Chain A
Amino acid sequence: MLRLINLQPGRALKTALGIIPFLLILLTYQIGSDLRKAENEQDKLLPSFAEIAAGIDRMAFQPNKRTGEYLFWKDTQSSVIRLAKGISIAAFIGLIVGLAAGSIPIIAAPLTPLITAISLIPPLAILPVLFIVFGLGELSKVMLIVLGVSPFLIRDILQRTQELPREQLVKAQTLGGNSWQIILRVILPQTLPRLIDATRLSLGAAWLFLIAAEAIASTDGLGYRIFLVRRYMSMDIILPYVVWITFLAFSTDWCLLKLSRIVFPWYHADK
């Protein structure tokens, strides 16, 4: 008998074991829903799967009676655009500032304490400030993501840049590279896959900030919708929206990983 720590599940078993918890959750939900429905036909807390399907149909495949829009897709579009803008700007700032500070000590000296301090400000605490300064429109929501995520990205890229073996930089100098050339050809390309890593890690936080901003002041978006229908206890809409948001987050993460593997094969070599 092998020790428990040496017992490796086979491929098929591993997949099965991975799926089982999800099935259990669905089953538990179904039982819970049935029990509540048996007691009260009108129960809204745990809608049946049929009701959820109807909710999805209403939001995604029927035009809204008042506006004629397909709300689910409209919400998705608005949220994804905000998220994409916020993440892209944050990644750009993270890369430029992190790279500059990581490669040039004289830039790191004044920036490092500042970035550490900024990264400790809870972004949601300054959300009111953003609303006051940037108004209630798109800008403040994007800015919340940028402010929330970029300090983390800057610090991560800064650290990754400084982790590059000193030998490589010396070698590049003996090959005749000046500072700019070395940053461009040696440091930057090795930082890009790390930027993707860091961005993937920050997606969760970015969604959090997006949904918070939408919940407080917005007229569309996934976060806006679930907070809106909460007033009517519309779990049949909230639940599919949550699953959809999870799916979007998961697929973004997966796409970034794939992209990184294709573009930076050397980075994923020893992993």
Chain B
Amino acid sequence: MLENVNARVAKGEFVTLVGASGCGKSTFLKLLLGTEAASSGELLLAEKPIGQEPSSERGIVFQKYSVFPHLTVRENVAIGLEFDRSAWLGRLFGSKRKQALEQADEWLDAVGLTHAANQYPHELSGGMQQRLALAQALIKKPKVLLLDEPFGALDPGIRKDMHKLVLELWRKYQLTVFMVTHDLREGFHLGSRLWVFDKVRHDPHSANRYGSTITFDLPLRSQDTPLNTEELNAISKQLPRATINQIFPEI
């Protein structure tokens, strides 16, 4: 449950959403995605109310199940174009299909999956599947890209590669990104702006009485210069120690 959330995000920002489980960060992403609706208040995307169901304005990468197992890697990316260009069958044939597949190849190149173009997702590793999911989403040129703990299930080494890729894509295509993460360090490392979700008021007798809100809204850096460790430490000092301990007992 969320309450009193009021924020404005400019085009090209990379917002990372962090907080303890049940703090509402995932709920907020679902509101943006359109799989959940707000009971009151407004959510605007480019000055227009955001749709009540998912649309191609908002791309999404989930932690898993983001790709279609029955399509090859190329087809997985091309399907976004096919939906647009073939209203009835959702499938292109002949030269139109070839063209769509070629466009898909460009995006596969952007995420480094060219060598796996004709494989099925089950033949890919977890990291490669997430690369595919990114390519799928990006080919639609969404106004915002939503990432729901996209690297949570990956090994640390692979995760680092994915961080590099995401930052690279974000700069290159000037994406606007919202990313939910469990990992505070990941949130600091990737975001240009960090939101901490937490409850402000607690009712000891009824845990769900009050909702969460954005308790901290930290600008992290300009788009071009990644933070170094000292800056990270300086920023995390802005958060009251008690809050950090409470939200992230492991740090």
Residues of A within 8 Å of B79, CB to CB, are 172, 175, 177, 185
Interface membership of B68, Cβ < 8 A: yes
On whether the beta carbons of A167 and B64 are closer than 8 Å, the reply is yes
Q: A174-B59, A174-B140, A181-B90 are in contact. Are A266 and B70 (CB under 8 A)?
A: yes
Residues of B within 8 Å of A266, CB to CB, are 69-70, 120-122
The 13 listed contacts between A and B (C-beta, < 8 Å) are A165-B64, A170-B54, A170-B60, A171-B62, A171-B68, A171-B133, A173-B55, A175-B80, A176-B83, A176-B84, A176-B140, A181-B90, A266-B120
Which residue from B56, B65, B69, B133 sits with its C-beta under 8 Å from A176? Answer: B56
The interface size of chain B toward A, counting residues with CB under 8 Å, comes to 36
Q: Within the complex, what minimum Cβ distance (angstroms) separates A107 from chain B?
A: 18
Q: Which of B43-79 contact A (CB under 8 A)?
A: 53-56, 58-60, 62, 64-70, 79
On whether the beta carbons of A186 and B140 are closer than 8 Å, the reply is no
Most B Cβ at <10 Å: residue of A182, A185, A190:
A185
Residues of B within 8 Å of A180, CB to CB, are 88, 90
Closest 8 CB pairs of A and B: A181-B90, A165-B65, A173-B54, A176-B56, A269-B122, A167-B65, A175-B80, A176-B83
Q: Which of B106-164 contact A (CB under 8 A)?
A: 120-123, 133, 136-137, 140, 142
Interface membership of B89, Cβ < 8 A: yes
On whether the beta carbons of A176 and B80 are closer than 8 Å, the reply is yes
| Minimal Cβ-Cβ distance residue in B for A264 | B70
On whether the beta carbons of B120 and A269 are closer than 8 Å, the reply is yes
Q: A176-B56, A185-B90 are in contact. Are A167 and B66 (CB under 8 A)?
A: yes
The DSSP consensus for interface residues of chain A is helix
On whether the beta carbons of B69 and A190 are closer than 8 Å, the reply is yes
Complex Cα–Cα for A189 and B136 (A):
19
Most A Cβ at <10 Å: residue of B56, B69, B88:
B69
Interface membership of B97, Cβ < 8 A: no
Interface membership of B222, Cβ < 8 A: no
Residues of B within 8 Å of A49, CB to CB, are none
On whether the beta carbons of A167 and B62 are closer than 8 Å, the reply is yes
Interface membership of A134, Cβ < 8 A: no
Complex Cα–Cα for A124 and B55 (A):
49
Known pairs A185-B91, A190-B68 / 12 extra A-B pairs, C-beta < 8 Å: A167-B64, A168-B66, A170-B54, A172-B79, A173-B55, A174-B59, A175-B137, A181-B83, A185-B79, A190-B69, A266-B120, A266-B122
On whether the beta carbons of A174 and B55 are closer than 8 Å, the reply is yes
Residue interface mask A247-271, B partner, CB < 8 A = 1: 0000000000000000011110110
| Minimal Cβ-Cβ distance residue in A for B84 | A176
Residues of B within 8 Å of A165, CB to CB, are 64-65
Interface membership of A129, Cβ < 8 A: no
| Minimal Cβ-Cβ distance residue in A for B85 | A176
Complex Cα–Cα for A180 and B90 (A):
8
Complex Cα–Cα for A270 and B121 (A):
12
Residues of A within 8 Å of B33, CB to CB, are 170, 174
Q: Which of A98-144 contact B (CB under 8 A)?
A: none
Interface membership of B174, Cβ < 8 A: no
Q: Within the complex, what minimum Cβ distance (angstroms) separates B67 from chain A?
A: 8
On whether the beta carbons of B83 and A175 are closer than 8 Å, the reply is yes
Interface membership of B82, Cβ < 8 A: yes
Q: Within the complex, what minimum Cβ distance (angstroms) separates A153 from chain B?
A: 20
